[in-house]
Amino acid sequence: MLDIKLIRENPDFVRQRLASRGAGDEKFIEEVLQLDEQRRKTLAEVEQLKAQRNKVSKEIGALMGQKKIAEAEAKKIETRDIGDRITALDKQVAEIEPKRDAILISLPNLPHESVPMGKTAEDNPLIRMHGAKPDFSFKPKTHIELCESLKLVDFARATKLSGSGFVLYTNWGAKLERALIQFLLELHSNEHGYTEVNPPFVVGPHCLEGVGQFPKFKDQYYGVVEGDKQEEMGKLYLIPTAETPVANIHREEILPEKSLPIKYCAYTPCFRGEAGAAGVGTRGMIRVHQFDKVELIKIVKPEHGYDELEKMVTNAEKVLQLLGLHYRIVLLCTGDMGFASAKTYDIEVWAPGQGGYLEVSSCSNCEDFQSRRMNMRFKVDGGENKFPHILNGSGTALARLFVALLETYQQADGSVIIPPALQPYLKTDRIHA
């Protein structure tokens, strides 16, 4: 959520930054300002009346104490009228405020000044590359062919269970998925200093609103109910990412300054309706309704937000370095960024069978956009409460990492070599038919 004071004091700056996203949100600023102005005016009036009422009520109390009943009764009549006016004005404020807040909660974050202007992914500048595309003496297969020949994934039977967009890992495929989860968690918790947590996979709507997935993108997530109790719809949702529960862990808390930075890593499955995406990459496991991911979350002081973002990208790309995969890092332009983010780096891994790069990680600094929505603050030593920056990054998404590994390490005989970093977890150096 944007700071209403910032909008009030710097409306043109806010409009210009919103406009850079290209979604037309800047047109709502005028209405927010009007509602804000109206609210403050009404509030000033009603508060003055309340002060008056409090004063008279006190006097009545004193008179009653002295048994001056007649005088007290006279004052009661005088005050009754004030009460009616207060009720009316309170009602006005109660109507204005939700209107203002409904707009505020639907406005996306402002892109940071270091984010390049642009409209689509085409405009995202390349930040750096690592390694090189592997050479093959044969035509590399796709992960779908490899999964079928090595019996790592049973696509047909997964469809039988849950419809399209779901994956049934089998035998070495299941083991590889589990080995990757273990490898990622141990890397981030043991080497990178993140505290491992294991959150609920089902959360209430306030958590989705806290990180910015609600109310604007409500149709993209799975709601769950107990049995067929339709009246419970809207109370619980399957998490679309571990960010949803983990970033909300300290919601509505005032953290001591010395507890920052807080760093969490978590493995969870992620559930996404991917509404409107049917037909896009539905074959295979590039885009599915359920996938595994290890997520990184940081809660830091605002002055450290951008240093910590750079470090988080380093932590995520370490995964690809250890696995010996070729990747590139791009900086998302203003038009391509997510709703809550102020600055985002994407890490894309090379998948030879696809002949393209796959996004396996997205690292964002959301600044105080989410902490405002959650009302999460920290107390500085002077006593002032501030909103921390909240960062999230994939470290990394599993399904696409799985794809890149198979396609990169496939051999002419159809087997797949396991890179040394992963061997202790999978307990083999090669998967073959």
Q: Which residues bind RNA (CB under 7 A)?
A: 4-5, 40, 43-44, 47-48, 50-51, 53-58, 60-61, 64-65, 76, 79-80, 83, 87, 94, 254, 377, 379, 381, 383, 385
Of 83 and 234, nearer to RNA (C-beta) is: 83
Of 276 and 383, nearer to RNA (C-beta) is: 383
- What CA dihedral angle connects 217, 211, 359 and 426, to 10 degrees? -120
**In angstroms, rounded to a whole number, what is the distance separating the alpha carbons of residues 271 and 237?**
9
Measured from the CB of residue 194, what is the shortest distance to RNA in angstroms? 25
Pairing verdict, β 385-386 and 262-271 = unpaired
Secondary structure E strands in 352-420: 356-365, 377-379, 385-386, 389-397, 416-417
Measured from the CB of residue 64, what is the shortest distance to RNA in angstroms? 5
Of 87 and 282, nearer to RNA (C-beta) is: 87
Of 40 and 128, nearer to RNA (C-beta) is: 40
**In angstroms, rounded to a whole number, what is the distance separating the alpha carbons of residues 291 and 301?**
32
Three-class SS state of 397: strand
Give the residue from 121, 104, 27 showing the smallest Cα distance to 335.
Answer: 121
Of 51 and 412, nearer to RNA (C-beta) is: 51
Of 64 and 174, nearer to RNA (C-beta) is: 64
Burial degree of 385 (CB within 10 A; 0-12, 13-18, 19+): exposed
Give the residue from 431, 415, 396 showing the smallest Cα distance to 320.
Answer: 396
Measured from the CB of residue 32, what is the shortest distance to RNA in angstroms? 12
Read off φ and ψ for residue 363, nearest 5 degrees.
Answer: -115, 125
Of 24 and 383, nearer to RNA (C-beta) is: 383
Of 204 and 414, nearer to RNA (C-beta) is: 204
Residue that is written with structure tokens 């009764």 in the block = 73
User: DSSP assignment of 205-265, as one string?
Assistant: HHHHHHHT-TTTTGGGS-EE-STT-GGGTTSEEE-SSTHHHHHTTTTT-EEEGGGPSEEEE
Output the CA–CA distances (angstroms, integers) from residue 145 to 55, 141, 398, 430, 433, in the order listed. 81, 6, 18, 17, 12
Burial per residue of 365-377, b for 16 or more beta-carbon CB atoms within 10 angstroms, e otherwise: bbbbbbbbbbebb
Measured from the CB of residue 77, what is the shortest distance to RNA in angstroms? 8
